Amino acid sequence: MQDHPYPVPGPPPGTFSQQTDPRAGIDEAVAGLDDLDALPLAEHVERFDAVHTELTVALSSIDKV
C-alpha cells in the first residue's frame, strides 16, 4: 500500500542508503590548485579535471540525481 495517493519524486525506496556531504572532496581538490604555478603546464589539466569532477559530483548529489 502506498503512503501517498499520488507519485512523490525521489529515488526508489531502498536505493539511497547513506547521506553524503557534497562538499567532501571539493576542499581537497581545490587545495591541489595551490601549487599550480610550480607544476609543468602539462599537469595543470589533471588538476583542473579533478576539481571539475568533484564539483560535478557535489552538484549532482544536491538533488540526488
21-63: pLDDT as tens digits: 667 778 888 888 999 999 999 999 999 998 998 888 888 877 7
Q: Which pLDDT score is estimated for 38?
A: 93
Mean pLDDT of 13-26: 61
What pTM value is reported for the model?
0.58
**46 versus 16: which is more confidently predicted?**
46
What's the Cα-to-Cα distance from 57 to each of 12, 40, 50, 61, 62, rounded to whole Å?
20, 27, 11, 6, 9
Q: Which pLDDT score is estimated for 4?
A: 60
DSSP letter, residue 37: G
Query: Which amino acid, residue 60?
Result: S
